Chains A and B, each alone.
Chain A
Amino acid sequence: MVMLGKDLLGIHDLTPDQISLVLDTALSMKEVSAREIKKVPTLRGKTVINLFYEPSTRTRTSFELAGKRLSADVINISAGSSSVVKGETLEDTGRNLQAMNPDLIVLRHASAGAPQLLAKMLPSSIINAGDGAHEHPTQALLDAFTIRERKQTLQGLTVVIAGDITHSRVARSNIDLLLKMGATVRVCGPRTMVPLYIEKMGVTFVPRLEEAIEGADVIMMLRIQMERQRGSLFPSIREYSRFFGLNREKLKHARDDVLIMHPGPVNRGVEISPELLDSPYTIILDQVTNGVAIRMALMYLLIGK
């Protein structure tokens, strides 16, 4: 019998069977979100705390809606308006929240490993909602769900991940998940934003975007993570956009049924041209819709018992 553990800290810890369990469970959850009354009583009496140390609109709202649609009580804490500004450490904040007996803490933090620290320390379940440049497992799961919805399977697909690979937790989690599920992954981006020895992860590095997307089934574009970069890794936004921005001209190299994805927030005109953003190839809003279903599935699997 396939199950998840106490926490969801990263794709790294999941087996292909566990990944499939989450994706299948999310199918039922998506149906709930499509109903007129978008609420089921499954997590009545459970408490979920969203603890966000980094800004977020999409992910935090998505977790909040997921909890509410399952009837859990959801509380949001953002670092800017909490005792973090008074100098409390993550560990102390964790202990204090635990004293109020929550069932699940969803943590986003700028430091890699922060969710691991809380998970070891606290009896509550922990979901990693993004830790530094390390992992963003719920994003990878919702991306996989969205791809599977369109292409039925992940097995045998070719997926290109393009942009700021080094600073991207989305890239790391997606590479791990896609390889586990039998897809082929190519990464593309300025050499300064792609880790040396990236091939050791099992992917191929293709420096030119036109070549990278040749025959690809899916293209995932990433945002330049200005907040995580030090110094200048590229000469100018305009130059970056010319070489690594996706537009109609470059897309001619891809398959006719290619899907364009982006974890958001998008910098319009930098990594994707506005006309492509609004084209049928782009399924960014499907990703957002499916994010709620994936997070509902994870909550059910982690604290539904």
Chain B
Amino acid sequence: MSEKTLILDKQDIDRTLNRIAHEIWERNRGAEDFVIIGIRRHGVTIAQRLSQKLQEFAGVTIPVGALDINLYRDDLSEIASQPILKKTEIPFSVQDTHIILCDDVLYTGRTVRAALDSLIDMGRPRAIRLAVLLDRGNRELPIQPNYVGKNVNVARDELIEVLLAEDDGIDQVVITKGARNGNAR
């Protein structure tokens, strides 16, 4: 039997994203060409929410893009089933922009490495910063986030499950102990 622990509920997630949005605004205010790009699929939802919050409290319209990193993965030959490709949709040029790259959980850093390679192939951004809802440590690459919602200490065999209303009908983050290794992220 796997045991589930709720670590963030709807209010927690909202408060956390609010804080990140304010931090982003504080550090990027006045910067021209600042954009938010989410890694499919939850990163895109988070990017949209951050953009919406910035619109609400700062009155700015920050463009949002969606990035599918599967074509840049380094583990295609190792994973059990081939990932289904989704479209990368970045309706603006990344050349000379300040990019806030978003994902739900930062773990080994390999997804972010793939995202960085992919973005750099699209042009030369002025800067790329990383925002994540959760950082679970255990990095395999030298990658650190600039904006973190919550740091969590979880063992490798534990699974962090992020559910967001737009994708899954509910806002919550749970940790499942004793989850199968294949699903761990």
Question: Residues of A at under 8 Å CB distance from B?
Answer: 1, 3, 21, 24-25, 27-29, 31-32, 35-37, 39-42, 70, 297, 300-301, 304-305
List of A residues within 8 angstroms of B25 by Cβ: none
Q: Does B1 sit within 8 A of A, measured CB to CB?
A: no
Min Cβ gap A277→B in Å is: 31
List of A residues within 8 angstroms of B28 by Cβ: none
A-B contact pairs, 13 of them (CB 8 A): A21-B84, A25-B84, A27-B85, A28-B85, A28-B86, A36-B122, A36-B123, A39-B121, A41-B72, A300-B71, A300-B85, A301-B82, A304-B76
Say whether A37 contacts B71, CB under 8 Å: no
Partner of B71, one of A24, A42, A305: A42
3 closest Cβ pairs, A-B complex? A28-B85, A40-B71, A42-B71
A-contact 0/1 string along B73-102, CB 8 Å cutoff:
000110001101111110000000000000
Known A28-B87, A28-B88, A31-B88; judge A304-B82 contact (CB<8 A). Answer: yes
List of B residues within 8 angstroms of A70 by Cβ: 71
Min Cβ gap B15→A in Å is: 35
Say whether A42 contacts B76, CB under 8 Å: yes
List of B residues within 8 angstroms of A31 by Cβ: 87-89
Known A36-B123, A42-B72; judge A1-B81 contact (CB<8 A). Answer: yes
Min Cβ gap A152→B in Å is: 16
Bound together, the chains give a CA A24 to CA B84 distance in angstroms of 9
Say whether A37 contacts B121, CB under 8 Å: yes
Bound together, the chains give a CA A1 to CA B77 distance in angstroms of 17
Please tell me the number of chain B residues within 8 Å of chain A, measured between CB atoms. 18
A-contact 0/1 string along B117-132, CB 8 Å cutoff:
1100111000000000
Can you add 14 more A-B contacts, CB < 8 Å, to A36-B122, A41-B71? A1-B81, A25-B84, A27-B87, A28-B86, A28-B88, A32-B88, A35-B121, A35-B122, A40-B72, A297-B85, A300-B71, A304-B76, A304-B82, A305-B76
Which residues of B27-69 have CB atoms within 8 Å of chain A's CB atoms?
68
Bound together, the chains give a CA A4 to CA B87 distance in angstroms of 20
List of A residues within 8 angstroms of B68 by Cβ: 28
Say whether B82 contacts A3, CB under 8 Å: yes
Residue of B nearest to A45 (CB): B77
Known A37-B122, A41-B117, A42-B72; judge A305-B85 contact (CB<8 A). Answer: no
Bound together, the chains give a CA A243 to CA B85 distance in angstroms of 45
Residue of A nearest to B94 (CB): A36
Bound together, the chains give a CA A177 to CA B49 distance in angstroms of 41
Min Cβ gap B113→A in Å is: 12
Bound together, the chains give a CA A36 to CA B85 distance in angstroms of 20
Min Cβ gap B88→A in Å is: 5
List of A residues within 8 angstroms of B123 by Cβ: 36
Bound together, the chains give a CA A212 to CA B2 distance in angstroms of 62
List of A residues within 8 angstroms of B88 by Cβ: 28, 31-32
Residue of B nearest to A28 (CB): B85
Residue of B nearest to A39 (CB): B121
Say whether A28 contacts B82, CB under 8 Å: no
Bound together, the chains give a CA A290 to CA B76 distance in angstroms of 25
Say whether A305 contacts B72, CB under 8 Å: no
Bound together, the chains give a CA A28 to CA B68 distance in angstroms of 9
List of B residues within 8 angstroms of A39 by Cβ: 121
